[in-house]
A = this chain, B = another copy of it.
């Protein structure tokens, strides 16, 4: 190492992901080892991602982290596991331009500063911890010149937040539960990249909720301890579904993909309900969105949309193609018109879907006809205000390093938040 004045930084961007075969239940709480495999779709980081800058300097006095501009504690076991595992794999780093040389051994004596930022509202219940821990591990890995590949890094991110391991890849990702007691084979692999099936369009309905939700960590612990259905799901049902889902993705078979996604989301919520005390993540609005999609799918020759819900009331809707997505957004806006006139903040992400659907202003929403499949259900009720906003997006790429220093969240002079 040279003098005390230098700061070395890496900035990376990591996507979030949505499980289509669900992870629910750990067989090991500390190592975060799941009771079954899971499969996810990575979401386009243009609309939902975490950006993290990690930096190292001999001037730092301790490991520190800022999340969305606010300093948070790194003392939790999950942060400590990730930091320890990454440091253990650190290698020599040389930056000739800056005259910096860090040897493998130096890393144990150096502290890091970490700043992380989500480009979506953290309160939205959109699994920010998945993207967050993936980005932490990925960026630290780059900073410390860790040689491990993405799958091996995923086994570290997994120890921060289980579903984080699936955010190390773009496209379609499987988290293999593994067999080893030390968790070394519980890691993510890419099933197909985001270009493999690029017709899919994803619409997220962020649902307004007055309920305080059970955290997924305590929720899945309670399910493991009390549900008599969970083990049957994990051992007998999910293994077959994983094979079917892999085949559906391989063949871009939307009918199977949609069916498997829907039934697995529902079964995850079923085991939550079978927990004591019962856990309810979906609310009446979630139920209504399911009914809208189920009714529409049934009225068509083939399913148009899949739905899946994580540990909260938000609906993640996957449309078979752009045409289905425009019809979907029309139906959703018909039932769930915005509470205010600000359409710009009611439909975010890829706004071109709404444009294609002919929605340019509030008056276009008011003019929407009732979906034809509910013709006989008169009068069709509307639920203004029950959805906070919609995010339009698509399957996306995995983590990337951002080389443009203007995107760094830490100051390159002192390693503190900009």
A residues sitting closer than 8 Å to B (CB atoms) are 210-212, 226, 228-229, 232-233, 236-237, 259, 262-263, 266-267, 269-271, 273-278, 280, 283-284, 287, 290, 294, 298, 377, 381
Contacts and interface: CB of A to CB of B under 8 A. Distances in A.
A377 B210 CA distance: 12
Contacts of A271: 270
Contact of A232 (B229, B259, B262, B298): B229
Given A229-B267, A259-B276, A270-B274, 20 more contacts: A210-B381, A212-B377, A226-B263, A228-B233, A228-B236, A228-B267, A229-B233, A263-B274, A266-B273, A266-B274, A266-B278, A269-B273, A270-B270, A270-B271, A270-B273, A273-B273, A277-B294, A277-B298, A280-B290, A283-B284
A25 B287 CA distance: 23
Q: Which of A267, A270, A377 has the most CB of B within 10 A?
A: A270
Q: Kindly report how many copies of this chain are found in the complex they form together.
A: 2
B284 A276 contact: no
Contacts of A237: 228-229
5 contacts: A212-B377, A228-B233, A228-B236, A266-B276, A280-B290
Secondary structure at the A interface, as helix, strand, loop or mixed, is helix
Nearest to A209: B284
A279 to B, nearest CB: 10
A269 B229 CA distance: 12
Contacts of A210: 381
A349 to B, nearest CB: 27
The 8 closest A-B pairs by CB, nearest first: A270-B270, A270-B274, A277-B294, A270-B273, A232-B232, A266-B278, A284-B284, A280-B287
Contact of A290 (B228, B267, B269, B278): B278
